A and B are shown apart, each in its own frame.
Chain A
Amino acid sequence: MAGPVSFFFEVLFSGLLAGVMYSLVALGFVLIYKASGVFNFAQGAMVFFAALTFVSLVERGVNFWLAMAITLAVMILLGILTERVVLRPLINQPPITLFMATIGLTFFLEGLSQGIWGAQPHGLDIGIRDEPMEWLADRTGMFLSQFDLFASGIAAVLVTVLALFFQRTRIGRALRAVADDHQAALAVGIPLKHIWAIVWAVAGFVALVAGLLWGARTGVQYALTFVALKALPVLILGGFESIAGAIVGGLIIGASEKLAEVYLGPYVGGGIESWFPYVLALAFLLFRPEGLFGEKHIDRV
């Protein structure tokens, strides 16, 4: 049996790895927020829609990679359609209007997913066993899953690629300009419509990755939409505009909620990890309202 010190580190590492899973969902929110200044309420529904489409195709005999490609194409199409039907008519409207539109999009996507593929849960095997790594358990007494390490690797690749995309490409810089001011961006010739379609498509891709990893763990079912709840405190903590913030926020939230549940939970009846991250994030807001890596806004009055 693991000793108390080894157990502490097991809880800590498990929390950090769980945090990476939250970050994967949070990334999708950050992308949309960076490009349009909108909190995309539909990100959870997109995760569900992507994973359900993928798993339904695989169950119908479509090859794994082909199913991935088709789902990606569907998510890109969804991004383009979202821009054309939902966002384009709302250019230059206040963020709250766009936010409300994404709420509508959520209900539409949830209904569409279940309408096309049904409401039954599905198992999803992506070929990575969710079992403790024996060599680590033998040497340290800590049970850490190889699936978690795989998810961390995926997250690291995603973050690197996205960070490079935003910092080093013209489209990335254009995205940041659009987020600052729609009208000003349009005035200097940035093609807002294209930019939005691209960013929604990229967010769709991130939703697919998050959906596959979460779906492999919990099964692909409606409850995947709830993973968005796990991303919110991560965003508050890390900042809505920062990809690095989504990762660091996820790690802090994951580690602290697990440590709190294991070490404080038993004294207060347990089950505290559903609200603990929100309390932590709120406390954090008192000191840094823009989050850890968020951009400071100075408004003239």
Chain B
Amino acid sequence: MRPSKYLAAGVALAAALVAGGALAQAKEQFVPANGYWVGPYAPGGSGFFGGMLDYFLLLNERDGGINGVKLTWEKCETEYNNARGVECYERSKNKGPTGATVVHPLSTGITYSLIDKASADKIPLISMGYGRTDAADGRVFPYVFPLITTYWSQNTAKIKFIGMREGGMDKLKGKKIVNLYHDSAYGKETIPVLDVQAKKYGFQVTHIPVPHPGNEQQSQWLQIRQIRPDWVILRGWGVMNPTAIKAAQRVGFPRNKMLGVWWSGAEEDVIPAGDAAKGYIAAGFNLPGTSFPVVQGILKEVYGKGKGEMEDRSRIGSIYYTRGLVAGIVTAEAIRTAQERFGKGKPITGEQMRWGIENLNIDEKRLKELGAVGLMQPLKVSCMDHEGGGAVKFLQWDGAKWNVITDWIASDQSIVRPMIEESAAKYAKEKGITPRDCKS
């Protein structure tokens, strides 16, 4: 061959490699797994991302991805730390053929830190059951999705539950409720909505903070004993939860009158408290168990092939694990929705994903197809409503497992929505954001 022929052949080969590489890349959808697998909050992080990534593995193994587009991910350890969460975000945002599709920060603090950045980068944030409540107003927060149930919605469902237990909402008048909260932005988030409800229903609410990390609560529970409340709402995180349950036992407060938020309602929150946790009740937007067909599918298609994220298989089906599973389902269904609009079998961009989440509609029929009936509630998101569900079930710990004790209890949107819109409008004014017109 003459030198020019070598050159031509080389160029052709290089072109083929580049094209081939691009084609191979083009069939991948990158979703960062920025979570935490070590440190004090590792049980939550490892369970959640275990469930989410196992679902992605199931789709890849069983279906060859979503319409042929394989899901890919990379883990980045945030240690539940805001600065590291931002660092992981920056590191992951340009990976994959179309950059980061969506980010699950799994931390209210990291979510707050990323709202401006992600909105500017056109990468959606899903803060499922945490994060900024007023982001449910999609007109002001187009890229933020506090999906399924926000803290405020959950809180109104809790008061409804207490009303049901007391024999009617009118029976709440004169009752005493203590809100025992983690002294942080996360902990304080529900104070306003509780105050509004206290006024509406005539109960008395006392907010008692517990300083981080919450491993000593004697003085708080002595105050609670003085107040003699009818109910204690526990808004804890990490070690604060079992400590609170144990401290309740120490002052003789009945555990079946303690109502935890879903971050106080996992196996990891009650097992360390031992027998003291028997009868304790917590809210949930995902239910535990391994009997769901989707979990069975994971056991067969993923773990059956020697793959899977969970080293400790006994954790499959736990609360944190199924919460991650729900996150995986929501993420994959949004990608599927976006593909239907922007091209099946092609990776989507963050901007297209935003559309996919905003037009997500997981009804009962779809839940059945997914093998997730009972695992989660139906979800319909819109431009106006970035929450999409709002209902809550309550679970009670019997010393060995969580038992579901209610049906889905709808939140009181007549209280929550005006508060969301007022707060979002205030944020829009502060930031100079012109809210979108959702009618157009």
Contacts and interface: CB of A to CB of B under 8 A. Distances in A.
B436 interface: no
A214 B222 CA distance: 19
Nearest to B268: A121
Nearest to B318: A120
A294 interface: no
Interface stretch (A96-104, A122-130, A154-162, A204-212): A122-130
B361 interface: no
B375 to A, nearest CB: 23
Contact of A270 (B39, B208, B273): B208
A123 B219 contact: no
B220 A221 contact: no
A273 B271 CA distance: 27
Interface string A7-20: 10011001100100
A191 interface: no
Contact of B219 (A11, A137, A223): A11
Contacts of B239: 121, 218-219, 221, 223, 226
Interface string A251-288: 00000011001100110011111110000000000000
Nearest to B225: A143
Contact of A119 (B38, B207, B250): B38
Interface stretch (B210-218, B296-304, B347-355): B210-218
Nearest to A1: B228
Given A120-B312, A221-B239, A271-B183, A262 B271 contact: no
Interface in B372-426: none
A222 B40 contact: yes
A217 interface: yes
B161 interface: no
B202 interface: no
A121 B215 contact: no
A114 interface: yes
A274 B311 CA distance: 36
Identify which of B39, B215, B271, B315 gathers the most chain A CB atoms within 10 Å of its CB: B215
A10 B220 CA distance: 13
A14 B274 contact: no
A18 B216 contact: yes
A262 B223 contact: yes
Contacts of A124: 272, 274
A14 B217 CA distance: 11
Contacts of B23: none
Contacts of A262: 219, 222-223
Given A131-B249, A132-B250, A270-B208, A221 B228 contact: no
Interface centre among B222, B225, B315 (most CB of A within 10 A): B222
A111 B42 CA distance: 12
Contacts of A265: 219, 223
B183 A121 contact: no
Contacts of A21: 216
Given A111-B38, A118-B311, A143-B252, A125 B274 contact: yes
B9 interface: no
Interface in B307-335: 311-312, 315
A220 interface: yes
B277 to A, nearest CB: 9
A18 B42 CA distance: 28
Given A121-B271, A125-B274, A222 B216 contact: no
B312 A271 contact: no
A270 B215 contact: no
Contacts of A223: 40, 213, 215, 238-239
B4 interface: no
B259 to A, nearest CB: 20
Contacts of A123: 242, 271-274
Contacts of A217: 215, 243, 246
B271 A122 contact: yes
Contacts of B268: 120-121
Nearest to B228: A1
Nearest to B270: A123
Contact of A132 (B39, B207, B209, B251): B251
A224 B213 CA distance: 10
B271 A230 contact: no
Contacts of A111: 38
Contacts of A274: 183, 211-212
Nearest to A217: B246
A226 to B, nearest CB: 5
Given A221-B272, A258-B222, 10 more contacts: A15-B219, A123-B274, A125-B274, A130-B246, A132-B251, A143-B251, A145-B250, A261-B219, A270-B209, A271-B183
Across the A-B interface, the 9 shortest Cβ-Cβ residue pairs? A219-B272, A274-B211, A223-B239, A119-B42, A271-B209, A261-B219, A271-B183, A222-B40, A123-B274
17 contacts: A15-B219, A111-B38, A118-B312, A119-B37, A120-B268, A123-B242, A132-B252, A217-B243, A218-B239, A218-B272, A220-B272, A221-B239, A222-B40, A226-B40, A262-B223, A270-B207, A270-B209
